[in-house]
């Protein structure tokens, strides 16, 4: 089968890897003129690394393996600790932080030469009972038997296939960056939560640190000209290492990404066209579910194209298998943390310390149950 994949991000390239290995002829259309290697680092939980392993992607020596997840209050008091090594033993796959550009490079390097076509911005598509045809803005046309929309939260394929509007803005944004580490965080990822926002940091390998701050945000608010000054004011008085991390940053290091959420559709496409990743279920970066759920989509779609005889029936089977877990992940990511309003009362110092008495073993078991609930792989 000839499959057209729109989007050369992590999910699009992972789809191309899986389908190529399954014997399909794949062409990837990417609107950018070259590989998009920016965007910080991604956290892969046990399901994400397991799926990449199934795709033949070796992560050895890339990024930072995680052994521990710690949750702390703004004052620095530890609330919960999760043993990620125990979960790695249980699931047979590790948790790891990897620079996005490194993962893109790994995925693309395993594809046949010429698979990715850059500068190919989709303008129109037509699908019928026999196949699909895509036309780019430059007038180039591509024919195939099946089409996968993996072109992100502002998906052109979603707009053309489902007629959906833009994803909803949730009133918060993440300022994040991948910069030289001012200290060695080791194999630990730490999240600090307070009523004015949250802050997280973790090593990403090669002396780099991924860090982020979640704060209130509105698309109607004036642009923040000096984000580091704003973050220093907002997070003043927070425990170490907030001040140390902010002091290590320079102008241009902090990138803004609004929290958004797509309504997860009942059917993830139509005819011979399907959606996956952020194109199907864009969600906030809270709890690092976006990339992991996209990889779950990839694994399920590859299996469906192999096991469902009629390509036109794939959309229904694939949607039914993925919708519940993706919708649950989106709900959890959207409601787990608050940066304003009454829900921040649950993130006060007193309440968090009162509710954070679970021993590490029980906390780890709970997090493991959550990961397995959101995954078909582990």
Domain span at 104: 2-39+100-167+261-337
pLDDT band for position 117 (50/70/90)? very high
Q: Indicate whether 117 belongs to any domain.
A: yes
pLDDT > 80? residue 173: yes
Decide the pairing of beta strands 146-149 and 2-6.
parallel
Q: Indicate whether 124 belongs to any domain.
A: yes
Q: Residue 47: which of 278, 290, 283 has the closest Cα?
A: 290
Contact 371, 288 (CB under 8 A): no
Q: Indicate whether 28 belongs to any domain.
A: yes
Query: Could you tell me the CATH number of the domain that includes residue 130?
Result: 3.50.50.60
What was the pLDDT predicted at 346?
A: 78
Mean of pLDDT values over 29-42: 95
Contact 136, 123 (CB under 8 A): yes
CA distance 281 to 324: 11
- Please, where are the H alpha helices in the chain? 10-21, 46-54, 84-91, 100-109, 156-162, 227-234, 242-247, 278-281, 290-307, 314-335, 349-355, 360-373
What was the pLDDT predicted at 39?
A: 86
Q: Indicate whether 301 belongs to any domain.
A: yes
Residue-by-residue DSSP string for 271-290: TTEEE-THHHH---SGGG-H
Q: Over pLDDT 90: what percentage of the chain?
A: 90
Q: Indicate whether 313 belongs to any domain.
A: yes
Burial of 355 (C-beta count, 10 Å sphere; 0-12/13-18/19+): exposed
What was the pLDDT predicted at 349?
A: 81
pLDDT band for position 251 (50/70/90)? very high
pLDDT > 90? residue 367: yes
Q: Residue 93: which of 34, 55, 53 has the closest Cα?
A: 53
pLDDT > 80? residue 350: no
| 134 to 2, 5, 31, 145, 276: CA distances (angstroms) | 13, 10, 13, 11, 18
- Domains in the chain, number: 1
pLDDT tens digits for 53-105?
999 999 999 999 999 999 999 999 999 999 999 999 999 999 999 999 999 99
| 197 to 213, 258, 286: CA distances (angstroms) | 7, 14, 12
164, containing H or E segment: none
Q: Residue 29: which of 124, 113, 136, 131 has the closest Cα?
A: 136
pTM, entire model: 0.96
Q: Residue 179: which of 252, 111, 106, 230 has the closest Cα?
A: 252
Contact 222, 291 (CB under 8 A): no
pLDDT band for position 238 (50/70/90)? very high
Contact 7, 30 (CB under 8 A): yes
Q: Indicate whether 302 belongs to any domain.
A: yes
Residue-by-residue DSSP string for 196-244: TEEEEEEEEETTEEEEEEEEE--TTSPP-S-HHHHHHHHTTTPPTTHHH
Q: Indicate whether 284 belongs to any domain.
A: yes
């Amino acid at each position: 089968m000839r499959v057209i994949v729109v989007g050369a991000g992590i999910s699009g390239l992972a789809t191309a890897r899986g389908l190529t290995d399954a014997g399909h002829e794949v062409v990837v259309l990417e609107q950018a003129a070259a590989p998009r290697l920016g965007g910080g680092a991604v956290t892969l939980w046990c399901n994400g690394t397991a799926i990449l392993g199934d795709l033949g992607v070796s992560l050895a020596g890339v990024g930072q393996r995680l052994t521990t997840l710690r949750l702390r209050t703004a004052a620095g008091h530890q609330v919960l600790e999760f043993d990620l090594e125990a979960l790695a033993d249980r699931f047979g796959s590790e948790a790891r932080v990897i620079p996005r550009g490194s993962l893109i490079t790994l995925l693309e390097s395993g594809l046949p030469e010429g698979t990715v076509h850059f500068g190919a911005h989709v303008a129109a598509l037509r699908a019928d009972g026999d196949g699909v045809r895509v036309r780019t803005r430059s007038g180039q046309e591509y024919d195939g038997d099946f089409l996968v929309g993996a072109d992100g939260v502002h998906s052109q394929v979603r707009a053309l296939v489902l007629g959906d509007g833009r994803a909803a803005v949730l009133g918060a944004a993440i300022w994040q960056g991948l910069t030289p580490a001012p200290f060695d965080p080791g194999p630990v990822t730490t999240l600090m939560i307070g009523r004015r926002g949250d802050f997280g940091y973790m090593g990403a390998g090669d002396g780099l640190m991924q860090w982020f701050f979640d704060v209130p945000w509105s698309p109607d608010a004036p642009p923040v000209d000096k984000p580091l000054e704003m973050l220093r004011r907002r997070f003043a008085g927070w425990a170490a290492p907030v001040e140390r991390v902010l002091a290590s940053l320079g102008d241009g290091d902090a990138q803004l990404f609004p929290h958004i959420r797509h309504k997860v559709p009942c059917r993830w496409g139509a005819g011979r066209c399907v959606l996956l990743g952020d194109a199907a279920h864009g969600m906030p970066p809270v709890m690092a579910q976006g990339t992991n759920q996209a990889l779950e989509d990839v694994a399920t779609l590859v299996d469906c194209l192999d096991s469902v005889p009629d390509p036109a029936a794939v959309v229904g089977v694939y949607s039914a298998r993925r919708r519940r877990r993706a919708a649950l992940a989106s709900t959890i990511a959207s409601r787990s943390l608050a940066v304003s309003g009454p829900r921040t009362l649950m993130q006060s110092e007193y309440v968090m310390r009162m509710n954070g008495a679970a021993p590490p073993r029980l906390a780890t078991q709970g997090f493991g149950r959550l990961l397995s609930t959101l995954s078909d792989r582990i």
